[in-house]
Structure 1
C-alpha cells in the first residue's frame, strides 16, 4: 500500500519570507498611525490653548476688558452732580487703559441684605459684576466716595504685574492691625494671589480691593455673604466679618496679598484711622474720603470738590 507523499519543500527558500514581508508592512502601518495620532494630539493641544484658558474656562472673546471697576451708587440719596463726577472719573480711567465700569445701584441689593447694614452691598455688587463680565480677569472694587487721582497709572503696571506685586506684598505681618496673632504667609507667590487687600490702623478695608475671577472668588464671596455673618451684628458690619474670615480661614489667607494702604486706598486728610503712611500724597492712584458718609459733621460732596478740581486739571493736560 502506497501513501501520497507531501509536496517537496524548497529547502533553499527562506522559512519566513512571506511573514517577514507582512511584519515589515505592518510595522510601517503602525508607525504611520503613531505619527498621525501624535500629530492629532498636537493639533488638539494647540486648539485647546487657543480656545480655553489655563483654568479650563472658555477663553475671553476679542475685546473683553481685562479689568472691571465696580462702584456702588446710591442714586436715591446722592445728588445728580455728585454721581456724575464719580462716573466721569471712573469712565476716564477705564477708557485710558481698556477697562470697563460696572456701576451698581445700591437699591437693587437691599432685598438680599435681610435688614443688614447697606454697606454689605459690596458683596452682591461684585458678584453681579462677575456674572455680567464672566470673561474678565480682575475686578477692582472702588468705594464711591473715592477718586482715581493718577489716571496715567494702569492697575497692571501699578499693582498686578507679578514682579511689582511681589515687591509690594507685606509678608509675615499681622493680617489685622495692629497685633493680630495671624500673619500673612511669608512664602506666598504673586501667581497664587487671588485677592489683594489693604488695611488702615484698625481693620482690613472692604472699600478698595482687587479680586481675580475664578472658583476662589466665588467661594470667598459666598463665605463673606453668609447669613450667619450678616446677622451676627458685627460693630463694623462687613468689615469685621472680613477681618474674621481672613484670620480664621487659612484657605482664604493662602490666596491673599496685603499691600501698603496708599497703593489703592489712600485716605484723605479729613479721614481718621489711616494706617502708617496711609494718608494721600501727590501721585497716589486713589484718594478715599473714608467715613464721610457716616460722620454727620462731614459732607462727601464738599470734601470731594477740591480733589475733583485737581483731577480735572490733570486730565486736561
Structure 2
C-alpha cells in the first residue's frame, strides 16, 4: 500500500513571484536603516558613558577612601637619611674597627627550625636596623650616646645606617645623570686600598658631574643570608646586583647606573661615558649584534635589528662568557624588572650557576626573548679591559694604554692591592 508504485510523484512547486508590487520606498527604508547604525551606536555609547546604569551599583561597593600606598623605604629600614651630596660612600676611617668583627656584632643573627623539617636548623641574617627604635629621635639619641663611648660602636652604627642614605639635591635640576656604583669588601682591601678605589670613582664623578654610590659588600649579607658567599669569588659577585638595587633607591631620578667592580679603576678621567657609549649615536656602532651569548659558538645570539634607544642593560663578554665586572643599567621600569628578576632568590640559591650572577643573566637572556631584546653586549675593552695576567699580545680583551677602564678580577690576595697600586699611578687626570 505504501510502497512505490507507478503512480504520480509529488514534486515541490516552483516559487511564484508575488503578484503585488513592492512599495516605491521599500529599498530606501532599508538603506536609511543601515546608514543610521553608526549613529545609533554612538548614541548608545554616549548615554552609557554619562548614564552608566551599573555605576550606581558599583559605587555601593567602592571604598570611600582613595587608594594609598606606604612611602618607599630602604631594604632594612623604614627611615631614610637625606643628603645633598652626590657622593655617597661609607666612613672609611672607621673601617679598621669593622675588620675581624664577628658576624653577630654587625648583624642580627637568628637560628630557626622549619616546622616541616625540624631536624634542619637555618640561620637568618638581618640588619641591626631591625632593632631600631620606631621613634627616629629616640634612636638617634641612643646612637649618639653609644658613639661617644666606643669607636667600635660608632663604626657599627655608621655601617648599619649606610643603607638609609638617599640623595636629595638642594636644586631638583641639579641631578646627576649617571651614578657610578661600587661595592667594596673591607676584608679584601686595606684602608689605603679602599681609599684609592673610592677616590677614583669620586674624582671621575666630580669631573663629569656624575654621582657615586659605594657600599660595603658586608652590608648585603641579609640578602645573601650566608657569610660564606663573600668568601667565594663567584658567589660574592651577587653583591653587585643588590648594590645596584640600593643605588636605584638612593638616586631615583638618575638616568643611568654604571656598576664598576672593586677590582677595577677608571683610567681616563676625560672620557664622558654618555658621549662615549650611552647616547644612541655612540652605542649603536659598538653593539655586538648576532653575537653568541656563550662564545664562540653558542646557539642563542643577540638580535640583529635591535635599536640602541631600546637598550636597558649593557654588558661585556670575555673569551668564554658574559661578565658583570662592569655593566650599565638604564633607570626605567623595564630595567628595574630585569634587575629584580636577576636578583631573585631562586637564581641566588641555584647551585648549577658556576659563575653566580654571570651564569644567571646568561640563562635569563637565553630563555627570555623580551629581556634579550633589551640587552646588548659591547666589546670588553670599552668598559672592562682585563689586566694582562698571561702577558698576551694584541688581545682584544686585555688592557692597553689609553683604555677607559681596567679590571683585575682574576687576582688573588695580596696581589689584588699590588695591582691596584700599579694602575693607580697610571690614571690619566682630566685635562680641564
User: What is the rounded CA distance, in whole Å, between the counterparts of 2:346 and 2:394 in structure 1?
Assistant: 29
Give the aligned partner of residue 141 of structure 1.
Answer: 259
Larger mean CA deviation between 114-123 and 210-219 belongs to 114-123
Unaligned runs of 5+ in 2: 1-170, 230-234
> In 2 relative to 1, CA 119–253 (structure 1 residues): closer, same or farther, beyond 3 Å?
same
Give the aligned partner of residue 406 of structure 2.
Answer: 287
Pick aligned residue for 1:128 from 242, 246, 261: 246
Report runs of 4+ in structure 1 exceeding 4 Å deviation: 271-276
SS in 2 for 1:165: helix
Q: Deviations over 1:41-61 (max 9, x none)?
A: xxxxxxxxxxxxxxxxxxx92
**Alignment root-mean-square deviation, CA:** 2.2
| Contact residue 199 and residue 275 of structure 1 kept, 8 A | no
> In 2 relative to 1, CA 167–316 (structure 1 residues): closer, same or farther, beyond 3 Å?
closer
> In 2 relative to 1, CA 187–273 (structure 1 residues): closer, same or farther, beyond 3 Å?
farther
User: What is the rounded CA distance, in whole Å, between the counterparts of 1:307 and 1:133 in structure 2?
Assistant: 30
Give the aligned partner of residue 377 of structure 2.
Answer: 258
Larger mean CA deviation between 125-134 and 214-223 belongs to 214-223
TM-score by length of 2: 0.56
Pick aligned residue for 1:96 from 192, 207, 219: 207
User: What is the rounded CA distance, in whole Å, between the counterparts of 2:430 and 2:356 in structure 1?
Assistant: 36
Query: Per chain length, whose mean CA-contact separation is higher, i.e. which structure has more relative contact order (CA < 8 Å, sep 6+)?
Result: 1
Pick aligned residue for 1:118 from 225, 236, 243: 236
Give the aligned partner of residue 191 of structure 2.
Answer: 80
SS in 1 for 2:426: helix
1:277 CA drift (Å)? 0.5
Give the aligned partner of residue 358 of structure 2.
Answer: 239
1:67 CA drift (Å)? 0.4
Structure-to-structure mapping, 1:18-57, within 5 angstroms: none
Aligned residues: 254
Pick aligned residue for 2:315 from 187, 197, 208: 197
Larger mean CA deviation between 127-136 and 226-235 belongs to 226-235
User: What is the rounded CA distance, in whole Å, between the counterparts of 1:176 and 1:240 in structure 2?
Assistant: 10
Q: Deviations over 1:182-205 (max 9, x none)?
A: 111111111101111110011111
Q: Deviations over 1:114-139 (max 9, x none)?
A: 33532211111000000010000100
1:316 CA drift (Å)? 8.4
Give the aligned partner of residue 18 of structure 1.
Answer: none
> In 2 relative to 1, CA 275–248 (structure 1 residues): closer, same or farther, beyond 3 Å?
farther
Unaligned runs of 5+ in 1: 1-59
User: What is the rounded CA distance, in whole Å, between the counterparts of 2:415 and 2:356 in structure 1?
Assistant: 22
Larger mean CA deviation between 120-129 and 230-239 belongs to 230-239
| Contact residue 270 and residue 430 of structure 2 kept, 8 A | no
Larger mean CA deviation between 81-90 and 232-241 belongs to 232-241
> In 2 relative to 1, CA 236–272 (structure 1 residues): closer, same or farther, beyond 3 Å?
farther
> In 2 relative to 1, CA 302–257 (structure 1 residues): closer, same or farther, beyond 3 Å?
same
User: What is the rounded CA distance, in whole Å, between the counterparts of 1:275 and 1:177 in structure 2?
Assistant: 19
> In 2 relative to 1, CA 273–63 (structure 1 residues): closer, same or farther, beyond 3 Å?
farther
Q: Between Structure 1 and Structure 2, whose CA radius of gyration is higher?
A: 2
Give the aligned partner of residue 299 of structure 1.
Answer: 415
SS in 1 for 2:215: strand
SS in 1 for 2:322: coil
> In 2 relative to 1, CA 169–180 (structure 1 residues): closer, same or farther, beyond 3 Å?
same
TM-score by length of 1: 0.76
